[in-house]
Amino acid sequence: MRKLWLAAGIVLLLVMGTVLLTGCGRKEPVQKTVMVMDTVVTLTAVGEKADAAVRESIVRLQEIDGMASLHGENSDLKKLADAAGNGAWIPLHPEVFHMLEVSQEYSRISDGAWDVTAGPLVELWGIGTDKAKVPTETELAQAKAKTGWQKLELDPETKCARLREPGMSLDLGGIAKGFAADEVRKIYEQYGIRDGLINLGASSIYALGKNTKGGSWRVGIRHPRSEDKESRLGVVELSNAALSTSGDYERFFEQAGVRYHHILDPRTGRPANSGAVSDTIVVDGSLPDAGMISDLLTTAVFVLGPEEGKAFLGKLPTEVRGMICDRRLQLRTAHGFDEMLQQVQQDFSLAE
Ligand code: ADP
Ligand code: MG
């Protein structure tokens, strides 16, 4: 009889253990890393349908890549550039149209610090390519004449766009990854994924719910002046929010001791010389387009620089938090970013 009780007890314990593991315990995350949009993308998802969600997301990223780059048959940007100046309206994918609508709004409020018509300047400098060079003054003036966000026209009725002058072209390099992060988040939602991390390089990270251990996701922010790529400025805990970082260390070349990097000031046509070396923006997931906005804002705020960038952020909704690191490694923050920042490395201090 005692043996029977013992056996029943063991069975009960086993059943309880299984219930705990499958019912209350956390499922194994699905994680995939792919190279898309010129970036190492890592998608992590937890949930019954995580595998399908991640697979569909990768297909979606490849689609966005096709739409948002200047090359490829399906490229709206190529069609727009080819028709620039001839007056024709070009029908756009609704996704591209949406990116441009949001983009124009931020060009307006940043007074042109953010400008997707910087295409000819991006092309001229070629930073990050093997054709990178310092252009002549004439080349700069010519390229600058082909830029200007007011010369990009959008028609919300027909979702068409046109570029007013010949030689104009768009560059979505500072916004497309953020948009893509938003799209992956929507796919995760459709598949009932509440916990996950969408990582499109430092440029765009979207954290959903909890990490695989049940805590907030912890995202390290790179030290902008350390040779060691693993060295951190600090760490931010993130849940249901998008985070982007831009810096002059990402893509640059040096000539005669000057660093020429990939964040251009549309007003001068040159790499922004604003005093910022990196900036990080966190946008709460309650705001629509959180990923896209965090991505484009890092570029805009970098161009504006530490002081102006901080003032600019201060005027945005409080769901937008940000930090700018200057050349002396002093940090300026907006809307309580300093409270989110942990494990600040000793090289950095908060500006007065
Ligand atoms: P990444 O994360 O790929 O390094 P960022 O988010 O930092 O990119 O944005 C920089 C990219 O945005 C540049 O490579 C260029 O394509 C584009 N860009 C550069 N300057 C501007 C600007 N002032 N406005 C809009 N886009 C810009
Ligand atoms: Mg950006």
Domain C-terminal end among 99, 131, 163 = 163
Task: Give the pLDDT of residue 5.
Answer: 53
Domain C-terminal end among 130, 163, 196 = 163
Question: Would you say 220 and 235 are in contact if contact means Cβ atoms under 8 Å apart?
Answer: yes
> Which neighbouring-strand residues pair with 321?
282
Rounded distance from Cα 226 to ligand 1 centre (Å): 21
Closest ligand relative to 173 C-alpha: 1
Rounded distance from Cα 118 to ligand 1 centre (Å): 9
Task: Say which CATH number the domain at 60 has.
Answer: 3.10.520.10
Model confidence over 54-75: pLDDT tens digits? 999 999 999 999 888 888 777 9
Residue 155 lies in domain = 70-163
Is the CB of 262 inside a 6 Å radius of any atom of ligand 1? yes
Is the CB of 269 inside a 6 Å radius of any atom of ligand 1? no
Least confident of 68-72, 109-113, 147-151, 306-310: 68-72
3-state DSSP assignment of residue 102:
helix
Among candidate residues 104, 105, 100, the one with its CA nearest the CA of residue 77: 100
Task: For residues 285 and 42, give the distance between their C-alpha atoms in angstroms, rounded to a whole number.
Answer: 19
- Classify residue 175: in a domain, yes or no: no
Residues 6+ apart with CB under 8 A from 268: none
Task: Give the pLDDT of residue 26.
Answer: 55
Q: Same structural domain for residues 146 and 190?
A: no
Residue type, 128: G
Task: Detail the residues annotated as belonging to a binding site for Mg(2+).
Answer: 174, 295, 299
Question: Would you say 61 and 176 are in contact if contact means Cβ atoms under 8 Å apart?
Answer: no
- Classify residue 172: in a domain, yes or no: no
- Classify residue 176: in a domain, yes or no: no
Q: Same structural domain for residues 11 and 140?
A: no
3-state DSSP assignment of residue 217:
strand
Model confidence over 16-69: pLDDT tens digits? 433 333 444 457 899 999 999 999 999 999 999 999 999 999 999 999 998 888
- Classify residue 220: in a domain, yes or no: yes
Is the CB of 264 inside a 6 Å radius of any atom of ligand 1? yes
Closest ligand relative to 247 C-alpha: 1
Ligand 1 atom closest to Cα of 127?
Answer: 14
Rounded distance from Cα 232 to ligand 1 centre (Å): 22
Task: Please provide the average confidence, as pLDDT, over all residues in the chain.
Answer: 92
Task: Say which CATH number the domain at 139 has.
Answer: 1.10.3980.10
Residue type, 214: G
3-state DSSP assignment of residue 220:
strand
Number of structural domains, the chain? 2
Task: For residues 169 and 143, give the distance between their C-alpha atoms in angstroms, rounded to a whole number.
Answer: 10
Q: How confident is the model at residue 121 (pLDDT cuts 50, 70, 90)?
A: very high
Place of tokens 């549309």: 266
- Classify residue 137: in a domain, yes or no: yes
Q: Same structural domain for residues 125 and 190?
A: no
Task: Give the pLDDT of residue 20.
Answer: 38
Q: Same structural domain for residues 186 and 282?
A: yes
- Classify residue 255: in a domain, yes or no: yes
Task: For residues 241 and 178, give the distance between their C-alpha atoms in angstroms, rounded to a whole number.
Answer: 12
Model confidence over 182-204: pLDDT tens digits? 999 999 999 999 999 999 997 79
Closest ligand relative to 107 C-alpha: 1
Is the CB of 299 inside a 6 Å radius of any atom of ligand 1? yes
Q: Same structural domain for residues 200 and 344?
A: yes
The CA R_g of the chain, rounded to the nearest whole Å, is 23
The number of residues making up the chain comes to: 352
Domain C-terminal end among 135, 163, 191 = 163
Global confidence as pTM: 0.92
Kindly state the percentage of the chain with pLDDT values over 90: 87
- Classify residue 177: in a domain, yes or no: no
Q: Same structural domain for residues 271 and 125?
A: no
Q: Same structural domain for residues 24 and 86?
A: no
Q: Same structural domain for residues 111 and 57?
A: no
Q: Same structural domain for residues 213 and 290?
A: yes
Q: Same structural domain for residues 17 and 150?
A: no
- Classify residue 24: in a domain, yes or no: yes
Q: Same structural domain for residues 311 and 266?
A: yes
Task: Give the pLDDT of residue 11.
Answer: 45
Is the CB of 171 inside a 6 Å radius of any atom of ligand 1? yes
Place of tokens 């068409």: 160
Q: Same structural domain for residues 47 and 141?
A: no
